[in-house]
Each structure stands twice: as C-alpha cells, then as structure tokens.
C-alpha cells in the first residue's frame, strides 16, 4: 500500500540548484546509497559459494573464474542498473487515534530531527529542505514516466527492518549455469534480482528503523540515473530552521515557478512545528 504522504529530505544546494530549478527528482543508482549493504561492490552475498573439497585443480580454477565473473556481472547489474527513490513516511501510529499519539508532532515524516541532521544539512544542521508529496500522485507519476515495460521494470515497497533478515538471502539458481554464454548468465542474474527484489532491496538492518523508509525501484539496462517531473505533484516545501538567509530570494522564486506552498520548520524547546512562509 502506497503511503498517503511521503517526504524527501535533501540539502539546500541540491533542492535549489537541481530539484526545484529543473523541476525533476532523481532516482539514483544503488551504488550511491549510504547503506553499505547496498552500495558496496563486494556485498553480493546471495551468490552461492562453491565447494572445493577434492575438486581437481583444473576444475577448481574454472569454477573460481566463473564465480568471480558472476560476481562482477551481478555487481554491475545491482549497483548501476537499479535506481532508487528513497522517501520517509509518517509513523504508523499517526492515524491510530491513540490518546498518546494524538498530539505528537514527531510522528510526522517532516518533523524527524535525525533526518534533518543527516540528510537535510551541509556543514550546519537543519539547513536543508524537505519536499512533501502525496504518495499516490508520486506513484502515478513514476509509473507513467517508466511505463515502457520493455525498457523499465518498476517496483515499490516499505522497508522491512531486521538484522537477521539480512542473512536469509536466496541463492542464485545455478542449474546448468556452466552451459550458458555471457549473455545467458546476465539474463539469469537480471531475472534473479527482479524475482527476489523484496529481500534484496527492501530489507535493512534495524539501525535504520527510525527513518520509516518507503522506496520506489526502477530497473533499466543503462548505467545512469533516471528522472521524473515534480511539476503538479509537489505539495509543499519545508526548509530547515537554519536555512541560509542568502538563499531565501532564490527559494521564493523557485516556489513561485512551481506554485507550491512553503514552510519553515521551527523548534520550540525541541518540539517541532511548521511556520507558513508567504512569499
């Protein structure tokens, strides 16, 4: 189920000089994410290990060469061909009507202190931007943009957090793998990532749990990021409490161009609230 609201945190520079200026949002390659499970070249742990006990030397070397070649191909497919858009969602308790959560602003996806500090900052904390979208509108825009099923495969899902889950990756089907040529091996590996996308791309360790992440994934056999237009679907721009004064004129101009409302996140004794800004 697509979240009702989603939030994309970024730096002021990226927001002003890329996203709001170009009116488009980037789906970046997996190799540039900050989770080592996803971005490290050597973390293709779902490839099976070959058993070498008693294996003749010549066969041993042939198997070793094949495995190393598969790891390189799998790394290229995962880190360069798969693109991702990561967003934060509201805490599940926000709409639960519980008395303890009714007036808790920290349950909103836009009022996460750690997200402002980690993703919406440069040298100073809380200097960046949080972009608010309607989840269903963003989902439709992504699927309309990448509707060519021959070139693109589109997935989405909630991140499942659990340390032990990371040890449960399914191995790649090695049936008759030695009979395949290079193209056949690539097809086998690409199909594996598509079939097992949930356990490969939608699982993270519990240390990331407070991000409440939702993501869209796009696979295309091209070594470059993908982009979607945000015109007409961006609902609100929220800037951090320490957003640089020198960038306000540029921010006003960008928001006017795309006709979107603007707020500044303030903190009263550490409690967040959104202050409307009228330009």
Reference 9, options 89, 106, 107; nearest CA is 89
Predicted confidence at residue 124, as pLDDT, reads: 64
- Out of 55-64, 131-140, 200-209, 240-249, which region has the weakest mean confidence (pLDDT)? 55-64
At 237, phi and psi to the nearest 5? -115, 125
> CA angle, corner 54, sides to 52 and 58, nearest 5?
70
> CA angle, corner 8, sides to 126 and 101, nearest 5?
80
- Out of 2-6, 38-42, 104-108, 136-140, which region has the weakest mean confidence (pLDDT)? 38-42
Is the torsion defined by CA of 27, 29, 33, 37 positive or negative? Answer: positive
Concatenate the DSSP letters of all residues of 112-179 into one string: -HHHHHHTS-SSSTT-SEEEEEEHHHHHHHHHHHT--TTT-EEEEEEPEE-TGGGG-PPPP--TTGGG
Predicted confidence at residue 45, as pLDDT, reads: 46
Residue 267: strand pairing partners:
272
Burial class for 239, CB neighbours closer than 10 Å (0-12, 13-18, 19+)? buried
Burial class for 245, CB neighbours closer than 10 Å (0-12, 13-18, 19+)? exposed
What is the spatial distance between Cα 221 and Cα 191, in angstroms, rounded to a whole number?
12
Cβ atoms within 10 A of the Cβ of 177, count?
16
Q: What is the mean pLDDT of the chain?
A: 87
pLDDT band at 179 (very low <50, low <70, confident <90, very high): confident
More confident residue, 84 or 102: 84
Predicted confidence at residue 52, as pLDDT, reads: 47
What is the spatial distance between Cα 48 and Cα 198, in angstroms, rounded to a whole number?
19
* Span 108-127, pLDDT tens digits: 999 999 999 888 776 667 89
pLDDT band at 64 (very low <50, low <70, confident <90, very high): low
* Span 222-271, pLDDT tens digits: 999 999 999 999 999 999 999 998 999 999 999 999 999 999 999 999 89
What is the spatial distance between Cα 108 and Cα 101, in angstroms, rounded to a whole number?
11
Arithmetic mean of pLDDT, 212-216: 97
pLDDT band at 149 (very low <50, low <70, confident <90, very high): confident
Concatenate the DSSP letters of all residues of 229-268 into one string: E-TTTEEEEEE-TT--GGGHHHHHHHHHHHT-EEEEEEEE
pLDDT band at 61 (very low <50, low <70, confident <90, very high): low
């Amino acid at each position: 189920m697509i979240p009702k609201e989603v939030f994309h945190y970024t730096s002021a520079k990226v927001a002003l000089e890329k996203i709001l200026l170009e009116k488009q949002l980037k789906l970046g390659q997996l190799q540039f994410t900050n989770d080592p499970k996803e971005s490290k070249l050597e973390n293709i742990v779902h490839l099976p290990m070959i058993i070498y006990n008693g294996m003749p030397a010549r066969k041993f070397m042939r198997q070793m060469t094949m495995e190393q070649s598969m790891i390189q191909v799998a790394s290229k497919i995962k880190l360069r061909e798969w693109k991702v858009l990561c967003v934060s969602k509201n805490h599940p308790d926000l709409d639960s009507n519980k008395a303890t959560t009714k007036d808790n602003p920290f349950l909103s996806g836009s009022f996460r202190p750690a997200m402002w500090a980690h993703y919406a900052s440069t040298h100073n904390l809380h200097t960046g931007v949080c972009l608010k979208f309607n989840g269903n509108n963003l989902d439709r825009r992504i699927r309309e943009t990448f509707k060519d099923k021959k070139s693109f495969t589109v997935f989405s899902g909630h991140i499942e957090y659990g340390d032990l889950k990371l040890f449960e990756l399914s191995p790649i089907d090695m049936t008759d793998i030695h009979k395949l040529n290079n193209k056949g091996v690539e097809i086998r590996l690409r199909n594996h990532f598509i079939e097992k996308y949930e356990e490969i791309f939608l699982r993270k360790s519990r240390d990331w749990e407070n991000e409440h992440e939702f993501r869209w994934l796009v696979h295309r056999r091209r070594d470059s990021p993908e982009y979607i237009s945000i015109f007409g679907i961006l609902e609100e721009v929220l800037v951090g409490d320490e957003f640089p004064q020198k960038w306000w004129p540029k921010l006003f101009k960008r928001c006017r161009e795309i006709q979107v409302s603007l707020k500044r996140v303030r903190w009263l004794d550490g409690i967040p609230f959104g202050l409307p800004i009228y330009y």
